[in-house]
Amino acid sequence: MATRVLGISALAAITAATAVALFVVPADLNQGEAQRIMYLHVAAAWLAYLSFGVTAAASAWWLITRGQRADAVALAGAEVGVLCTAATIWAGMMWGRPVWGTFWQWEDPRLTTTAILLASYVGYLLIRRLTDDPVRRATRGAVIGIVAAINIPIVHFSVVWWRGLHQGPTFVSPDTILNPPAPGQFVATLLLMLGAFSLAWLWLVITRYRLARLEWAAEDRARRGRLVPLATAPEAGS
Amino acid sequence: MSDLWRQMAVARAIATKDLRAEVRGRQAVTTTLFLAAVTLLVFGFALGPDRARLAEAGPGLLWLAVVLSGVLALGRLHQSETEDGAFEVLATYPVSRAAIYAGKAAGGVAAMLALGAVVIPLTVILYGVDIGPALPGLVVILALGAVGLAAVGTLYAGLTVRLRAREVLLPLLLLPVVAPLLLAAVSATTAVLAGDPLRELAAWLQLLAGYDVAMLLAGGLTYGLALEE
C-alpha cells in the first residue's frame, strides 16, 4: 500500500515538474529551448550514479553476509541504474547536438565515463542472466559490480588528463548552468525535478527488489519440484 | 616470512605449469600471437596506404592489437583449466587463493609480454613508426600495461570460464574495464615516440601503475570467490 502511494506521488511529482520545466520557467537565453533538456539530464545522471553506488555497496554486503536480500538490492540498483544511465546519455546527446554542435564529445570526461559505466553494467546484467544457480549468479555479479565501481574513478581521471594534456575543448561546460550566477528559477526547477525523479527511483528500486525476491522464490520452488517449470511442462495434446 | 615464500612458490609453480603447457604446444597463447599480427595487417587495410596516417595511428593500433588478442589469450589460459576438472582440483589445494591468482596472473603477464614483443616490431615494420631512442620507454609502458591487462583479465577469465558464452562475454566485460589502461598506454606511447615534448609521460605511467595496483588488489581479494563456486 505504502509503495502504491509512493508510486502515485512519484508520477504526480514528475508530471508537475515536467510542466514547470516546459511551460513555467523561461528558456536559457543562449541555449534556447534545448536547455530544458538539462532538467531531465541532470536528474537522471544523479540517480544513475546513486544506483551504481547502491549496487557496489550491496555487492560488498552480499560477499560478507551471503544474504539473498543483498543480492536483490544489487540487482535492482544495477537495472534501474542502466535505465537512468541510458536516459542520461540520450538526453545529453539531444542537448549536445544543438548546443555543442555534436552528439558526442570525446574529450568530455563525464560523457565518456558515463558511457563506460553503461557498458560495464550492461555486462553485469548479462552475466547474471547466464546462470541459474543463485549463489554463483550473485557472486559473479558482486565481483563485477565492485570492480566496475573501482574502475569508474580511474576512467574519469584518465579522461580528465587526456583532455588536460591535449588542447582543452572550447565548448561551454554544462557546469556553468548550475553555477551560482544561474537564475534561481533554474535551480529551483532542477531541484523539483531531482525530487520527483528520486521518488520514481525509489519506487522502481523497491518494485524491482520485490520482483527479484518473488522470481527467486518461484525458482526455488521449481527446483524443489513443487511447481512444474514452464520449460518442462508436458505439451498440450501429448 | 616463510609463509610468504611458500605462497610465492605456489604462484611460481602455477605460472611455470601454464608456460610449460604453452611451450609444449597447448597453443593457448601462440595462436593469439598470429592473431595480433593479422589484426595489425588488417588495420592497415582499413586505414589505407597513407604512410603518415598509419604512423600517426600506430600507438593506438599497437595497443588495440595487444588488448584484443590479449583478452583472448587470457581467456584461453583459463579454458585449459576446465579440462578434466583441473580447476576443481586446483580449488581443493590447501593454498591461499591469492597465491593461485598471482600464479595465473603471472602466466598472463608473460603472455602479454610475448604479444608486445610481436606487436611492437610489427608496428615498426608495417606502419613505419620510428622507435629509435624510445625503446626503453616503450618497454616500461608495455610492462605496466601487461601487468594491468593480466591482473583484471585473469580475474574476469576466472569468473567467466565456466559459462558457455565465455568467448563473447569475457571481451564484453573486460573491454570497458580496460578502457583507462588503453587510454593511458596509448597516450604514453604517443608521448614517448614524440620525445615527450609536453612532459606528460610520467603522469601516464603513474596512472598505469595505479591501475595495476588497484586491479591486482581487487583480483587478489576476490579471485578466490571464482574458484569456490
Residue A168, number of CB atoms within 10 A of its CB? 9
Helix (H, G, I), strand (E, B) or coil at A28: strand
**Burial code of B76-91, b = ≥16 C-beta within 10 A, e = fewer?**
bbbbbbeeeeebeebb
**Interface probe, candidates A66, A127, A132, chain B, greatest B C-beta count within 10 A:** A127
A80 vs chain B: nearest CA distance in angstroms? 19
Smallest Cβ–Cβ distance between B187 and the set A139, A143, A162 belongs to A162
CB–CB contact B225 A139 (8 Å): yes
What is the phi-psi region of residue A105: left when phi exceeds 0, alpha when psi lies from -120 to 50, beta otherwise?
A: beta
From the DSSP assignment, how many helices (H) and strands (E) are in chain A? Answer: 7, 0
**Nearest chain B Cα to A119, which residue?**
B176
pLDDT tens for chain B, 229 residues long, are: 578 888 889 999 999 998 888 888 767 788 899 999 999 999 999 988 888 888 889 999 999 999 999 999 999 888 888 877 888 888 888 888 899 999 999 999 999 999 999 999 999 999 888 888 888 999 999 999 999 999 999 999 999 988 888 889 999 999 999 999 999 999 999 999 988 887 889 999 999 999 999 999 999 999 988 777 6
Give the residue from A169, A42, A49 showing the smallest Cα distance to A100: A169
Smallest Cβ–Cβ distance between B180 and the set A135, A140, A158 belongs to A158
Helix (H, G, I), strand (E, B) or coil at A179: coil
Contact B117, B184 (CB under 8 A): no
Q: What is residue A164's predicted lDDT score, i.e. its pLDDT?
A: 60
CA distances from A32 to A22, B47, B98 (A): 12, 40, 57
Higher pLDDT, B53 or A227: B53
ipTM of the complex as predicted:
0.84
**Interface probe, candidates B177, B212, B215, chain A, greatest A C-beta count within 10 A:** B177
Range of the domain at B152: 2-227
Name every residue whose Cβ is closer than 8 Å to that of residue B129 and which is 6 or more positions away in sequence. Answer: B55, B58, B59, B62, B123, B193
> Does the beta carbon of A159 lie under 8 angstroms from any beta carbon of chain B?
yes
**pLDDT tens-digit series, residues A27-62:** 777 777 878 888 888 899 889 989 999 999 999 999
Q: What is residue A236's predicted lDDT score, i.e. its pLDDT?
A: 42
Contacts 24+ apart (CB under 8 A), A98-101: A98/A31, A98/A32, A98/A34, A99/A31, A99/A34, A99/A35, A99/A171, A99/A172, A100/A171
> Does the beta carbon of A69 lie under 8 angstroms from any beta carbon of chain B?
no
Distance between CA atoms of A229 and A226, rounded to whole angstroms? 9
Smallest Cβ–Cβ distance between A151 and the set B169, B180, B200 belongs to B180
> Does the beta carbon of B183 lie under 8 angstroms from any beta carbon of chain A?
yes
Q: Which residue has the cell 581487487?
A: B218
Number of structural domains, chain B? 1
Residue B193, number of CB atoms within 10 A of its CB? 19
CB–CB contact A123 B176 (8 Å): yes
Backbone angles phi and psi of B134, in degrees to 5? -80, -5
B177 vs chain A: nearest CA distance in angstroms? 6
Give pTM, 2 decimals.
Answer: 0.86
CB–CB contact B152 A148 (8 Å): no
> How is residue B23 annotated by DSSP?
I
CB–CB contact A116 B176 (8 Å): yes
Triad B123, B124, B125: Cα angle to 5°: 90
A222 vs chain B: nearest CA distance in angstroms? 22
- Give contacts of A123 with chain B, Cβ < 8 Å: 169, 172-173, 176
**Nearest chain B Cα to A109, which residue?**
B180
Helices (H), chain B: 2-21, 30-47, 51-82, 86-92, 97-127, 135-160, 166-177, 179-193, 201-227
**pLDDT tens-digit series, residues A178-206:** 444 567 788 888 889 999 999 999 999 99
What is the phi-psi region of residue A143: left when phi exceeds 0, alpha when psi lies from -120 to 50, beta otherwise?
A: alpha
Distance between CA atoms of B85 and B77, rounded to whole angstroms? 15
State the cell numbers at A79: 537495472
Name every residue whose Cβ is closer than 8 Å to that of residue A176 and which is 6 or more positions away in sequence. Answer: A182
**Nearest chain B Cα to A116, which residue?**
B176
- Give contacts of B156 with chain A, Cβ < 8 Å: 144, 147
- Give contacts of A148 with chain B, Cβ < 8 Å: 176-177
Q: What is residue A157's predicted lDDT score, i.e. its pLDDT?
A: 78
A163 vs chain B: nearest CA distance in angstroms? 11
CA distances from B216 to A62, A133, B204 (A): 21, 28, 18
